[in-house]
Amino acid sequence: MCGRYTITVTLEELLARYEAENMSAEYQPRYNIAPGQMVPAVIAGAEGRRLGMLRWGLVPPWADDPKIGNRMINARAETLEERPAYRNAYRTKRCLIPADGFYEWKKIAGGPSRPFRITLRGGGLFSLAGLYETWTSPDGDRLHTCAVLTTEPNRLMADIHDRMPVILRKEDEDLWLDRRVREPAKLAGLLAPYPAEEMEAYEVGRLVGNVANDVPACLEKANG
């Protein structure tokens, strides 16, 4: 799964990387993003890319209770066509979720799990493949939400966890965002594990285990 991640660049850097129009004043660098929080996302607008904020945890339009989003932070790439909650969004409401790292916990026999931060080799921004939806309450209030797609782990991730987020190559981002593309067969090739040799991982301290800790120290390598 993907349950925590980071995006530590400035707003100016983010807008420049995605060549996007800013639709939100809420953005700030984050070091320990957790489900249920508002996250920056890029979608395709009529006149180009737009950057806005979505709540992490997808709520389908037909849901009776928005709390369903608490259980829908990740969508398995292998079953998107089978899940009613994701099927329509996969065809028409795809987004990019910018990140520069994500956390995963490695299970240790006889001991506590150890947190790792995974990045591109050499650092830098990358795009997690996401889906988004809009849910409307009986009173007419609108809630914009998203989920991160996950896939099988690559060689690097397999030693840490049995899933990893879908990371898109920069040259594939336009295809993923193109709302005119509605055939899953044209998108399936983008959902493969990102090459292990282009990524790296390092153990971090247990500070990241508490969602209240959203500070640069979360990025630091663990002692020893």
Rounded CA separation 13/192 (Å): 27
Q: Which of 12, 21, 78, 104 is catalytic?
A: 104
Q: What is the DSSP letter of 163?
A: -
Q: Which residues of 173-201 are buried (b: 16+ CB within 10 A; e: fewer)?
A: beebbeeeeeeeeebeebbebbebeebeb
Q: Which pair of structure tokens corresponds to residue 178? A: 């193109």
200: left (phi over 0), alpha (psi -120 to 50) or beta: beta
Q: Is 220 a catalytic residue?
A: no
Count Cβ atoms within 10 A of the Cβ of residue 33 and give its class: 0-12 exposed, 13-18 middle, 19 or more buried: buried
Q: Is 218 a catalytic residue?
A: no
Type of residue found at 202:
Y
Rounded CA separation 153/1 (Å): 10
Q: Which of 2, 95, 146, 218 is catalytic?
A: 2
Give me the active site residues, please: 2, 104
